[in-house]
Amino acid sequence: MRATVFHAPGDVRVERVPDPKILKPTDAVVRVTHACICGSDLWFYRGDSKWEAGWRTGHEWMGTVEDVGAEVRTLKKGDRVIAPFAYSDGTCEFCKKSVQTSCVEGGYWGGADDDGGQGEAVRAPLADGSLVKVPDAVKDDEAMLMRLLALTDVMGTGHHAALAAGVKKGATAAVVGDGAVGLCGVLAAKRLGAERIILFGRHATRIAIAKTFGATDVVSERGEEAIAKALEMTGGGPECVLECVGSESSMEMATSIARPGGAVGYVGVPMGSLKGLNLRRMFSENIALRGGVAPVRAYIPELLNDVIAGKLDPSPVFDMTVDLDGVPGGYAAMDDRTAIKVMVKP
């Protein structure tokens, strides 16, 4: 089959790789029908995280089951499935506590040892624990599938940020980051009942989406000015802050504006954000830091129900679609921010 392979920063290629097959009785082989390029893929694409030539890429994908191992109980050939960006057994202590990203048997798609989603097919380990079946009634509804595709990562991650930030009915929330995760964070905060949602962003198209998702205010200033404005407009800071970037400046922003007694829910992969932590203020004002890599497997069933019921539509974050050969161009578009998020249809 063909799949995307990392070669060097700025250099991903679509190449011939071995066809996936069942290796363990808990495996499934899935034909990929939809995948994405993730903001966090840019870390290796930009050389900011250590990746090795030959590693496979793509951790967000959906597809159709082609084969299952002898012990797979919940899936069969022909099922349409959503893959959370981490696979997990569904039975260990951490899976039972809804921290599937810490599963003792789990892992992430792509890299050195696993198939990635930016390819024609995937061998999916721990299929019963990981993959969620899309109800047959909507399995070929392309508009619905595009909405569900966001549940593989960004929508679940935005939801995790909102939960970690403590968003409840009537809350005031701020969202640091106008990427796909930040936009989904706005949508998640709205869904959880936030009354006021302040987006930190500067890009007109992203702001426009955020407003349709529920943002009530926008702060486009940077640094100290943005902090001062957020504190002023909320009379001391929003109690819930969703940190959706992971950089030093975004973490500094988040921890400097949260209201005393409030919380920062952080889901941006921390690339430098440690330095930005305003720990002195967090300590003196009892501001909690919660979150981390999102256990999106825990959230798919609930979010899927809302998507199917027509109550949730994160699909506007996809503003570019490519086929498999278009993946390198998709990376480039996300890297120079001409695309918010790229959908791949192999």
Q: Return the number of the residue (210 or 258) whose C-beta is nearest a copy of itself.
A: 258
* Residues lying near a copy of itself in the complex (CB under 8 A): 94, 97-99, 101-102, 164, 260-261, 266, 269-270, 273-274, 277, 279-280, 282-293, 295
DSSP H helices, the chain, are 41-45, 93-96, 127-130, 142-149, 154-164, 180-191, 204-213, 223-233, 248-257, 273-276, 279-284, 296-308, 327-335
Q: How far is CA 137 from CA 79, 129, 141, 146, 310, in A?
A: 11, 22, 8, 15, 14
d(CA 124, CA 83) in angstroms, rounded, equals: 9
Q: Return the number of the residue (62 or 294) whose C-beta is nearest a copy of itself.
A: 294
Query: How far is C-alpha 171 from the geometric centre of its chain's CA atoms?
Result: 23
Q: Return the number of the residue (10 or 260) whose C-beta is nearest a copy of itself.
A: 260
- Gyration radius (Cα) of the chain, Å: 20
Least distance CB 289 / a copy of itself (angstroms) = 4
Least distance CB 65 / a copy of itself (angstroms) = 29
Q: Return the number of the residue (212 or 286) whose C-beta is nearest a copy of itself.
A: 286
Name the residue among 35, 21, 24, 29 with its Cα closest to residue 64: 29
Strand, helix or coil for residue 37 = strand
CB 37 within 8 A of CB 327: yes
Name the residue among 179, 181, 176 with its Cα closest to residue 198: 176
Q: Return the number of the residue (92 or 332) whose C-beta is nearest a copy of itself.
A: 92
CB 344 within 8 A of CB 35: yes
Least distance CB 43 / a copy of itself (angstroms) = 13
CB 283 within 8 A of CB 305: no
Least distance CB 259 / a copy of itself (angstroms) = 9
CB 94 within 8 A of CB 102: yes
Q: Return the number of the residue (169 or 280) whose C-beta is nearest a copy of itself.
A: 280
Least distance CB 282 / a copy of itself (angstroms) = 6
Least distance CB 129 / a copy of itself (angstroms) = 16
Least distance CB 230 / a copy of itself (angstroms) = 17
Least distance CB 91 / a copy of itself (angstroms) = 15
Q: Return the number of the residue (4 or 273) whose C-beta is nearest a copy of itself.
A: 273
Strand-pair partners of 241: 174, 264
Q: Return the number of the residue (80 or 160) whose C-beta is nearest a copy of itself.
A: 160
